[in-house]
């Protein structure tokens, strides 16, 4: 969801501001997210597949990068850092230090991504039985009244 939202926000900002002279980079610390985005052989549930389509349509593979959890500034909050801890963490306000040098020196997405863990794959269920019950409707009102004594 976060990867999809990032692409949607980027698309929205580009459309609304007509500011096209920057190149967006979409960072994630989740290797499974990158695996799902780059995977072309696995079918996903509709919810996931729709978000992956939005990511693919709104971004280029070269824009997607991976950052390890140690250097991910957003992990400060998700790991339970206190408010005073956030104020003292310069990474939170200035961004991670690896972004200071030129973009060529930034971490790249892995060239070879391992196979997705099984929990991310769609489980194919066996055949399901469906029972069809046909109910005869009495469209004629007098016939309906004859079914009741009063």
| Tens digit of each residue's pLDDT (9 = 90 or more) over 74-128 | 776 677 777 777 776 666 677 778 888 888 888 776 666 666 666 666 555 556 6
Q: How confident is the model at residue 133 (pLDDT cuts 50, 70, 90)?
A: low
Please tell me the predicted confidence (pLDDT) of residue 122. Answer: 57
Is the pLDDT score of 145 beyond 80?
Answer: no
13-17, 44-48, 77-81, 139-143: segment of lowest average pLDDT: 139-143
Please tell me the predicted confidence (pLDDT) of residue 37. Answer: 85
Q: How confident is the model at residue 138 (pLDDT cuts 50, 70, 90)?
A: low
Q: How confident is the model at residue 134 (pLDDT cuts 50, 70, 90)?
A: low
3-state secondary structure the chain: CHHHHHHHHHHHHHHHHCCCCCCCCEEECCHHHHHHHHCCCCCCCHHHHHHHHHHHHHCCHHHEEECCHHHCCCHHHHCCCCHHHHHHCHHHHHCCHHHCCCHHHCCCCCCCCCCCCHHHCCCCCCCCCCCCCCCCCCCCHHHHHHCCCC
User: What is the residue-averaged pLDDT of the chain?
Assistant: 76
**How much is the average pLDDT of 7-28?**
84
User: Over the stretch 39-52, which tens digit does the pLDDT of each residue have?
Assistant: 877 788 888 889 99
């Amino acid at each position: 969801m976060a990867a999809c939202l990032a692409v949607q926000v980027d698309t929205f900002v580009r459309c609304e501001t007509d500011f096209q002279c920057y190149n967006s980079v979409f960072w994630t610390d989740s290797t499974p997210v990158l695996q799902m985005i780059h995977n072309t052989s696995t079918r996903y549930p509709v919810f996931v597949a729709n978000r992956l389509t939005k990511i693919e349509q709104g971004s280029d593979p070269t824009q997607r990068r991976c950052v390890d959890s140690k250097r991910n500034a957003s992990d400060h909050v998700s790991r339970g850092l206190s408010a005073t801890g956030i104020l003292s963490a310069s990474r939170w306000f200035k961004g991670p230090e690896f972004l200071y040098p030129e973009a060529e020196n930034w971490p790249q997405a892995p060239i070879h991504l391992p196979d997705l863990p099984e929990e991310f794959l769609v489980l194919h269920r066996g055949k399901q039985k469906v029972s069809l019950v046909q109910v005869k409707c009495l469209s004629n009102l007098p016939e309906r009244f004859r079914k009741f004594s009063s």
